[in-house]
Structure 1
């Protein structure tokens, strides 16, 4: 587990010298540390560190660097891969071997600016449903997670010469919700939740693209669900453009995520609990894993 106690013994050199680390080790465990700096050489707090066991590929621990750019963890003996990432910067990967009773010297990690991916060609790009997924994750009665998806949808992206002026529209068939449980799915379609008879579609229309550095964007827009419209921001990672596929189509890809609160869309979970109905919790994590194919230079037709 990550340690909160970090004792540093600075060497007598000048500034910028990585300090040695001394930590209490649990029996049979080892430890390692990182000092992460940004492209200007300044300590970088808040960088995300993920440690994965190389044999099982399971995440052993994860966390963020402290305000001074440090991260430290104790681990069981074994071989690990360490991924350090921060918004707008290229991730760095290190491999290390942990031995029992050994605290490795801290490693100096310098993150570099992310390579700017070539933006999509201006014009219309239409979602490719076989290679696109709209997924969600929610709590089940506050315990296990419910994983689901919508299986019927359509959408398009109008890429403007200035990417910030681009536009996205998505229409989801609310009745296509699927969680792998017919009883639960029918309940989610009912008037208690999505009420698909009255509100057959879930619509998202963007209002603006905000660039956040590297391949990161925030896609601001309006989500309409259950007869209610709310402003939402999709944290979006642009994954690039390729020329390939069955017909050598030009394709682009992106991954967008948002957290939705059901009460914002008049889906009152408290009243359902009072009636003994509890299917999913009050928040839902939404994820759009999109591939789109280049279509024309025309503006995409909004969903009807």
Structure 2
């Protein structure tokens, strides 16, 4: 019977069952979330600075080598997109150097999910927009039809985000208001059925926060828009998949997208506020790993 930890991280079952009689370097290279770092390289140098081992991790993030001469060595684990980790390795009389689990942090101190292609799961995502109404309260709408993908590269510079939203899928809970929002006064869904976003770069903004730079096309107008993104972590799902969660938000000025319709209901007060707050709650499923 497996523990809950083993169920969450199946590769750890194999780690626990590794032969007790193994010799040489043995280490597990992991991200902060506990996922294997593939294509990581571990080197070991002796006290004279001579390299005695250079080994690459396997698909489970495990690295091993031939038996070594007893002594004290310096081990360095490196991987593209991660900050190198150095530690002292002591080789015993049996020729073994057990380093255990070595955690690599993303370069710049900001985390992302494991590299790969991640597809949005619409059933577990929400895209909403909130506008001020009468200067007193807010009206919230959501888009019910959308698709997208996140490509996490081995470095943030090679990562990308793409999303497409059906403009006509806006839903505020009021059919009359929704029809007006779909009209040429606002989304102009008949002429421009798709709202699209394509990223152009990422800037770290904290240990688990990013600013996604990109271009938003809305109602036929394309403007640069930054998303303030929080990466919430990864985890296994009951169907054998790996999921990542994010939350992002931004603020749009309606006039930037030629949505200037409004009514003055009393001195200094408009029916609709000039800005929209957009919030995204995202779950994405890893559909492919990077080669």
TM-score class, shorter: 0.5 to 0.7
Q: Is the 8 A contact 2:110 2:204 kept in 1?
A: no
Q: Is the 8 A contact 1:169 1:205 kept in 2?
A: yes
Q: Distance in 2 between matches of 1:121 and 1:216?
A: 15
Instruction: Indicate the residue corresponding to 2:189 in structure 1.
Output: 196
Q: Distance in 2 between matches of 1:275 and 1:175?
A: 27
Larger radius of gyration: 2
Q: TM-score, normalised by structure 2?
A: 0.59
Q: TM-score, normalised by structure 1?
A: 0.56
| Alignment partner of 1:215 is 2:205 | no
Inter-CA distance 234–222: structure 2 relative to 1 (3 Å threshold): same
Q: What does the per-residue CA deviation read over 1:123-179, in whole Å, with 9 as the maximum and x for residues that have no partner?
A: 110000010000111111322200110000000001100023200000000000000
| Alignment partner of 1:161 is 2:123 | no
Instruction: Indicate the residue corresponding to 1:253 in structure 2.
Output: 245
Instruction: Indicate the residue corresponding to 2:176 in structure 1.
Output: 183
Inter-CA distance 117–231: structure 2 relative to 1 (3 Å threshold): closer
Which of 263, 269, 277 is the aligned partner of 2:255? 263
| Alignment partner of 1:273 is 2:266 | no
Q: Distance in 2 between matches of 1:127 and 1:279?
A: 34
* TM superposition outliers: structure 1 runs of 4+ over 4 Å: none
TM-superposed CA distance for 1:194, in Å, is 0.7
| Alignment partner of 1:285 is 2:277 | yes
Q: Is the 8 A contact 2:111 2:231 kept in 1?
A: no
Instruction: Indicate the residue corresponding to 2:286 in structure 1.
Output: 294
Q: Distance in 2 between matches of 1:141 and 1:154?
A: 33
Instruction: Indicate the residue corresponding to 1:126 in structure 2.
Output: 119
Alignment of 1:1-304 (within 5 A): 119-245=112-238, 247-269=239-261, 272-273=262-263, 280-297=272-289
The secondary structure found in structure 1 opposite 2:240 is coil
The secondary structure found in structure 1 opposite 2:250 is strand
Q: Distance in 2 between matches of 1:141 and 1:189?
A: 20
Q: Distance in 2 between matches of 1:275 and 1:139?
A: 13
Structure 1 gap ranges (5+): 1-115, 300-304
Q: Distance in 1 between matches of 2:260 and 2:161?
A: 29
Q: What does the per-residue CA deviation read over 1:230-252, in whole Å, with 9 as the maximum and x for residues that have no partner?
A: 0011111100111123x121000
Q: What does the per-residue CA deviation read over 1:95-116, in whole Å, with 9 as the maximum and x for residues that have no partner?
A: xxxxxxxxxxxxxxxxxxxxx7
Q: Distance in 1 between matches of 2:129 and 2:231?
A: 20
Q: Distance in 2 between matches of 1:223 and 1:298?
A: 27
Q: Distance in 2 between matches of 1:118 and 1:287?
A: 21
The secondary structure found in structure 1 opposite 2:184 is coil
Structure 2 gap ranges (5+): 1-108
Q: Distance in 2 between matches of 1:298 and 1:161?
A: 8
The secondary structure found in structure 2 opposite 1:198 is coil
The secondary structure found in structure 2 opposite 1:184 is helix
Aligned CA RMSD, in angstroms, stands at: 2.1
Q: Distance in 1 between matches of 2:159 and 2:134?
A: 39
Q: Distance in 2 between matches of 1:274 and 1:212?
A: 39
